[in-house]
Amino acid sequence: MRLSELFSGVEYVTALSGDTEIVSLTADSRQAGENVLFCCIKGLTRDGHDFAPDCASKGAYVLCERDLGLESQILVGSVREAFSAVCENFCSNPLRKLKLIGVTGTNGKTSTTFIAKSILDRLGYKTGLIGTIQNMIGDEVFETHFTTPDTLELHMLFKKMADAGCQYCIMEVSSHAIEQGRTAGLHFDTACFTNLTQDHLDFHGTMENYFESKKKLFSMCDRAVINTDDKWGAKLAESVGCELFTLGLGGQDFSAENENYHARGVDFTLSIKGEKVQASVPIPGKFSVYNALTAVACAFLADSDNGKADNENIVRALGEVTGVKGRAELWPTGKDFTVILDYAHTPDGVENILSSMREVSTGRLVCLVGCGGDRDPVKRPIMGETAARLADFVIVTSDNPRSENPASIIEQILPGVLKHDTEYVVIENRRDAIKYAIENARKDDVIVLAGKGHETYQILNTGTIHFDEREVLAEVFEEIYKDQ
């Protein structure tokens, strides 16, 4: 694509040098070369501007936001926003055909996007999904490495979706992606806020900074869907400048009441802008109601854009959704006890899954819990306290210790556990901890394996190993019950 086409609609300071055919775009200086556009992205530890002279010497054009004195430089006010616009042009403007729905919050992003996609699919819309577990174009599944991909990868995904006939793209939007500018230049038809609880303070520093990061998404959308039962959501709702829709368990635009929680899911009365209808979601837990409300709001607003918004069809589709891998995932034991796999890796996440399982369990509630290394250490004792307060038995173990000593992480979890008289055991090796939980399971126990969820790996200080808790459970069951 020629430079003039690439920069169509993009504000830049310096005149374009010729009208060269650009063969590719990159923010990686190692990929810069003849007729490549190198974008000087400023990261956490490195600034692309420092590599620009070397890239220019290889024949690359340089997109920058400060004058580097290079003949091939293109100076702009914001490299992040210009890069997004250039990527959109390079990918043949897929967002002219595709409406974006963004979901942000500490917990519930993945489940909400999956439920919303499922509803829209069943309503007859071809939908793409970008998220933590996987990316999807219709029914086609692609591996993912980040909750929100980098700018070029994101626009290439948009192009694939548009080319495949998708009308909507539902995407998880992480606070890291917002702060690092991966969503710069995007405009969302609808942006949703699930909740905000303690997480990522190693990155943001304070909850207020974390909130301000999430808040930025709502300056990039036409409509906001906000959980106002959450205190941060209520605060956000007071400040948004776009069309606002609220959700919660009483009096909001999208609300639920008369909830009946059971092992198969939740039945409730759904109110959509005042119109009430009986609904159910086949995923257990109070958090599932909030996720369902957010997803229903997304589907209703998308459907109303097309002159439909059929509540009965939306409710029917909601009742047919399937669970999300690693989110309150029931692992089939074939025994008289239950095993649940859940990605709960924050205090609020642990509180949600244990509170939900407590409501449906008739035996002991057992929680296996750990905390990730090289992440916010403040939440470690809080995780321990939450597990000990809500469970009958706690197994403290490793999660992804990364570069840290697993024993040191566990030592920081234990003060929280010791605030209660709950029985507990420490087993550092996660596989051994899972085996212990199964070996000591009693009739009607509900065993929650918290923290890994959909992940199929474990990050140790010696490297990353394959670790899928479904496979571990299968192996452990074979070892324990092979002669039964």
The pLDDT of residue 267 is 96
372-418 per-position pLDDT tens digit: 999 989 999 999 999 999 999 999 999 999 999 999 999 999 999 99
CB contact burial 13-44 (16+ within 10 A = b; e otherwise): eeeeeeebebeebbbebeebeeebbbbbbeee
The pLDDT of residue 18 is 78
Domains of the chain: 3-90 (3.40.1390.10), 94-319 (3.40.1190.10), 329-481 (3.90.190.20)
Percent of the chain with pLDDT over 70: 98
Q: Per-residue confidence at 201, pLDDT binned at 50, 70, 90?
A: low
Lowest mean pLDDT among 223-227, 264-268, 370-374: 264-268
CB contact burial 209-236 (16+ within 10 A = b; e otherwise): ebbebbbebbebbebbbbbbbbebbeeb
pLDDT surpassing 80 at residue 230: yes
Highest mean pLDDT among 170-184, 345-359, 432-446: 432-446
Q: Could you tell me the pTM of the whole model?
A: 0.82
Q: What is the DSSP letter of 135?
A: E
Q: What is the largest CA-CA distance in the chain?
A: 78
pLDDT surpassing 80 at residue 146: no
pLDDT surpassing 80 at residue 202: no
Question: CA–CA separation, 235 vs 220, rounded Å?
Answer: 18
Q: Are 143 and 134 in contact (CB under 8 A)?
A: yes
pLDDT surpassing 80 at residue 200: no
Question: CA–CA separation, 308 vs 294, rounded Å?
Answer: 18
Q: Are 6 and 76 in contact (CB under 8 A)?
A: no
Q: Per-residue confidence at 253, pLDDT binned at 50, 70, 90?
A: very high
pLDDT surpassing 70 at residue 203: no
Q: What is the mean pLDDT of the chain?
A: 93
103-145 per-position pLDDT tens digit: 999 889 999 999 999 999 999 999 999 998 899 999 999 887 7
Q: What is the CA radius of gyration of the chain?
A: 24
6-24 per-position pLDDT tens digit: 999 998 888 777 789 999 9
Mean pLDDT, to the nearest integer, of 277-296?
Answer: 94
Helices and strands in the chain: count of H runs, count of E runs = 16, 23
Angle between helices 430-439 and 469-481 (to 10 degrees): 50
The pLDDT of residue 204 is 62
